Amino acid sequence: MHPWFAAHGYACFRVDRRGCGDSEGLFDDEYSEQELRDGEDIIAWLAAQPWCNGNVGMQGISWGGFNGMQIAARRPKALKAVISIGTTVDRFADDIHYKGGIQLGENIGWAATAASWFSTPPDPILRTDWRESWLKRLENAPFLAERWAQHSDRDDYWKHGSVCEAYNEIDAAVLVIGGQHDGYRNAMAAMLENSSGNTQAIMGPWGHKYPHVSTIGPAIDYLNVALRWWDRWLKDINNGAESDPAYRVYVMDSIAPNPSHDFKPGKWLAFSDWPSEAIEHNVLGFGSGSLGVSESFSAEIETNMRVGRASGEFFPFGFGPGELPDNQTVDDVNAVCFDRAPLDNDQTIIGAPEVRLKLACDKPQGQVIVRLSDVRPDGQAVLISLGMLNLRHRYSFEEKTDLEPDEFFEIRIPLDQSAYKIPAGHQLRLSVSGSYWPYCWPEGENFCLTLTEGSISLPILTGEVGETEFDLPPPLTLRPSQQLDPPDEQKEWQDHPDGTITMKITGDHGSRKDQGTGLVTQSKVTEFWSIDCADPASASVEMVWTRGLGRGNWNVNTECVFRMKGEATTFQIEEETRAWEAGVLVFERKRSTSVPR
């Protein structure tokens, strides 16, 4: 992207954060105070250069999307505009670590990935002290898996860097972009509903990718969308960008579930304001297996570790097959379901559904997961949205409160933002379960929920809204490189005779040579998830990351092994890191910890 932006009059910088890549210093944590201060210093340095007009913009996806808005909330004088993609406003309630107070499977996965990234050294061409710096980094690497598991409430650790704590502090113009198949689907609406500055948002059908390179189409011409934003706020060109629709949303049509979809048919709608008066909330009550007919019922929800197989990945990157949600009936057979009668007319959901439940639990702790699906006439069920709640966080995410066994209480669970058209003749289904493995970690012991009341509030498009379109992405000249070893992605589930379920993911990204620098990079990850269906305390995972860098006679390799087991009252976490230079082991460390649930 940078050569393309440079050709349109922008100086572009891609910054290695402190202690990573080719930067000096030591890495301490994601979104740390040091990281954000460094960001402010970088912006000030850029603005002071003779070739800069004093205006600076930030763009990024995921980590780079997070800290763009985080730094904007600190109001550096020169930061005039931000484009934040695949991002969140709440680091606890809506991030890769926890969802609804339940620890996600990706929490340990992200710790393993980050550790493997930061295990590699600077490039010797750029840093003569590369070896000394490398060993110092390895020795001082934080034990993030322990740290993130220790903070299981929404305390000051997570409030730091959560933009929702400082919406009104953002003066820069912010464009927030995300995909409905991303783990981050809620920041777009949240920013529009709460920020007071120049904010716009785009929600497409994409995964965790920039919208011009997403493997889930239709892709859009992100580069010219971004250029229009930069021209308005960095060059002060009166191109009318500030008057573009506040929220541009891609409404997906109903198509049969396929975990390897590469295109979602639908159409783009444009909202001049959000929240919109064109959306009305339709409340549907629960009955005995029915949705939309409120009546007395009682349903028992037993812990069932088989629910979750059709979840798909939290982050669909487009690395390989099977990343998207599959036919939900695989999970529905082990959940309690409430079905609506077939629709007489098409309905379009745009926004965040909310579920209300009245239930009791027979243990001091429990969790509940709710899924909204489109049941097609052939019986296949397409996941629309989901939400979940650690029941000990029913009052607040800031503190857990044990349940009184068998005492009834009410909860509300927001589902993720969606834009989905349900055709006439299709049904809506609300599925309720007490586990969702391996998407999130189960409780340490079995429990039973008794559900006696419930309803769902659906945001339905009822008013007139304009349609819009985006151009297709222009062709780009890619940096010359050579694929030396091909990538290979595999995902395999197995049901064993003893009642154990295992899932193995292998992601071999192959090796590639950069033709400009001669640098060869290699990486591979293997994940092995296991659980005994009769014992939630048996849940475990082992992740092994290997990485390599080389050029000529110089080569280094690292291996990071992470293990986690969810026992009855604790999480047991282990980490092993090894590093080799020219085949000789130069660093080795093992760490382990026990963290209370």
Q: Which of 435, 433, 443, 447 is nearest to 538 (CA)?
A: 443
Same domain for 488 and 517?
yes
56 neighbors 49 (Cβ within 8 angstroms): no
Q: How far apart are CA 559 and CA 545, in angstroms?
A: 6
Q: How far apart are CA 52 and CA 519, in angstroms?
A: 32
Q: How far apart are CA 369 and CA 335, in angstroms?
A: 10
Which domain-ending residue is among 244, 268, 301?
A: 244
Give residue 362's domain range.
Answer: 279-466
Domain with residue 412: its CATH number is 2.60.120.260
Same domain for 456 and 529?
no
Pair of tokens at residue 291: 């949705």
Q: How far apart are CA 325 and CA 528, in angstroms?
A: 19
Q: How far apart are CA 113 and CA 111, in angstroms?
A: 6
Which residue shows structure tokens 């992200």? 110
Q: How far apart are CA 576 and CA 337, in angstroms?
A: 43
- The one-digit pLDDT tens for each residue of the chain (597 residues) are 999 999 999 999 999 999 999 999 999 999 999 999 999 999 999 999 999 999 999 999 999 999 999 999 999 999 999 999 999 999 999 999 999 999 999 999 999 999 999 999 999 999 999 999 999 999 999 999 999 999 999 999 999 999 999 999 999 999 999 999 999 999 999 999 999 889 999 999 999 999 999 999 999 999 999 999 999 999 999 999 999 999 999 999 999 999 999 999 999 999 999 999 999 999 999 999 999 999 999 999 999 999 999 999 998 887 777 899 999 999 999 999 999 999 999 999 999 999 999 999 999 999 999 999 999 999 999 999 999 999 999 999 999 999 999 999 999 999 999 999 999 999 999 999 999 999 999 999 999 999 999 999 999 999 999 999 999 999 888 899 999 999 999 999 999 999 999 999 999 999 999 999 999 999 999 999 999 999 999 999 999 999 999 999 999 999 999 999 999 999 999 999 999 999 999 999 999 999 999
Same domain for 290 and 234?
no
Same domain for 330 and 199?
no
Rg of the Cα trace of the chain?
24
Q: What is the DSSP string of 175-212?
A: EEEEETTSS--SHHHHHHHH--SSEEEEEES--SS-TT
Q: How far apart are CA 425 and CA 198, in angstroms?
A: 41
Q: How many Cβ atoms are within 10 Å of 432's Cβ, its own excluded? A: 23
Residue 579 maps to a domain:
yes
Same domain for 581 and 507?
yes
233 neighbors 170 (Cβ within 8 angstroms): no
Same domain for 439 and 581?
no
Pair of tokens at residue 220: 């859009």
Same domain for 325 and 390?
yes
Q: Which residues contact 593 (CB under 8 A, 6 or more apart)?
A: 143, 145, 146, 149, 572, 573
Q: How far apart are CA 86 and CA 63, in angstroms?
A: 9
Q: How far apart are CA 192 and CA 247, in angstroms?
A: 8
Which domain-ending residue is among 466, 495, 520?
A: 466
Same domain for 443 and 512?
no
Same domain for 496 and 391?
no
Residue 373 maps to a domain:
yes
- At 398 the pLDDT is 97
Q: How far apart are CA 118 and CA 525, in angstroms?
A: 15
Same domain for 19 and 60?
yes
Residue 471 maps to a domain:
no
Which domain-ending residue is among 415, 440, 466?
A: 466
Enter the DSSP assignment of 94: B
Q: What is the DSSP string of 279-331?
A: EEEEEEEB-SSBBS------EEEE--TTTTTT---SS--SSSSS-S---THHH
279 neighbors 459 (Cβ within 8 angstroms): yes
Residue 454 maps to a domain:
yes
- At 269 the pLDDT is 98
Cα pseudo-dihedral 459, 324, 164, 437, rounded to 10: 100
Domain with residue 217: its CATH number is 3.40.50.1820
Q: What is the DSSP string of 227-258?
A: HHHHHHHHS----SGGGS-SEEEEEEPP----
Same domain for 424 and 363?
yes
Residue 138 maps to a domain:
no
- At 197 the pLDDT is 87
Residue 421 maps to a domain:
yes
Residue 476 maps to a domain:
no
Residue 62 maps to a domain:
yes
Paired strand residues for 535: 532
Supply angle C-alpha 348, 186, 293, rounded to 5: 45
Q: How many domains does the chain fold into?
A: 3
| 466 burial via Cβ count (<10 Å: 0-12, 13-18, 19+) | exposed
Pair of tokens at residue 361: 């639990």
- Give 3-state DSSP helix, strand, coil % of the chain, rounded to 5: 15, 40, 45
Q: Which residues contact 276 (CB under 8 A, 6 or more apart)?
A: 247, 463, 465
Question: Residue type at 15?
Answer: V
Same domain for 11 and 69?
yes
